[in-house]
Amino acid sequence: MIELIPAIDIINGQCVRLTKGDYDQKTVYNDDPVEVARAFEEMGFKRLHVVDLDGAKSKHIVNVDVLRRITTETHLIVDFGGGIKTEEDIQTAFDNGAAMVTVGSVAVTKPDLFISWLHTFGAERMILGADVRNGMISINGWKEDSQESLLPFLKRYVDEGVRNVLCTEISKDGTLSGPAVNLYKEIMAAYPDLHLIASGGVSSTEDILELEREGIPAVVFGKAFYEGRIDLRSLNFEL
């Protein structure tokens, strides 16, 4: 069974979703992300993907209070990303209850630093964020495109021990246009042992079933779930 991971994206302390990472195309789904997290736990989810969008834009963690409330008021396994630029940021996330952190931009701009974090904190607690636009990695809240192409970028870190990768196809994120299945198949063909988390574009239950049929280990979803497009019973999810 594909691992189902709901997402909570945070701006100004609210649960939101963006379209293609555009901060001007924002939908607020709930004023209290903790309330949303509790609801996910009550549905039976075990894992939660939390993104500090203010942090991603500001290049430092902003919504640490929300993280702390989610991890103290639920038993969810939380992976946290957005604005993690220093070892202190990682420690702050862990100190406030995150089980894992997602790091993308630093892996592009300071590869040696990211590798040192892998060794310091352990590959099991680090998720490599690979945010892709036109085949190239984007950084800093998707505001900047790098010169790194996806598969060589992944190879560098797979060789260093990375086992968890969250790959978002930016052009699909928040669009409900379907996930980038071929992109994920390409990654899995190259690195079959990765715990790849597909992200972006999920629009329906069938999209998730397709990812499962193609052997993708995990999927993150937000907008489709908030808008009632995903039927957990059809996914044999135990409610």
List active site positions: 9, 131
Q: How far apart are CA 88 and CA 61, in angstroms?
A: 10
Contacts of 69 (CB under 8 A, 6+ apart): 34
**Buried residues in 24-55 as b, exposed as e (16+ CB within 10 A):** eebeebeeebbebbeebbeeebebbbbbbbbb
The number of beta carbons lying within 10 Å of the beta carbon of residue 59 is 16
Report the C-alpha gap between 71 and 150 in whole angstroms: 32
Cα dihedral 72→222→145→90 (10° resolution): 10
